[in-house]
Chains A and B, each alone.
Chain A
Amino acid sequence: EVHLVQSGAEVKKPGESLKISCKTSGYNFNDYWIGWVRQMPGKGLEWMGVIFPGDSDTRYSPSFQGQVTISADKSVNTAYLQWNSLRASDTAMYFCARQAYNIGLWFDPWGQGTLVTVSS
Chain B
Amino acid sequence: DIQMTQSPSSVSASVGDRVTISCRASQGISSWLAWYQQKPGKAPKLLIYAASSLQSGVPSRFSGSGSGTDFTLTISSLQPEDSATYYCQQANSFPLTFGPGTKVDIK
Contacts and interface: CB of A to CB of B under 8 A. Distances in A.
B34 A44 contact: no
Given A62-B95, A111-B43, A45 B49 contact: no
Interface residues of B, number: 24
Interface stretch (B13-21, B66-74, B76-84, B96-104): B96-104
Q: Is the interface of A mostly helix, strand, loop or mixed?
A: strand
Contacts of A95: 43-44
Contact of B96 (A61, A101, A108): A61
Nearest to A47: B96
Contact of B87 (A45, A49, A104, A111): A45
Interface in A26-71: 35, 37, 44-47, 49-50, 59-62
A99 to B, nearest CB: 10
Interface of A: 35, 37, 44-47, 49-50, 59-62, 95, 97, 100-101, 104-108, 110-113
Given A100-B46, A108-B45, 17 more contacts: A35-B96, A44-B99, A44-B100, A45-B36, A45-B87, A45-B89, A47-B96, A47-B97, A59-B94, A59-B95, A61-B96, A61-B97, A62-B1, A95-B44, A100-B55, A106-B89, A107-B34
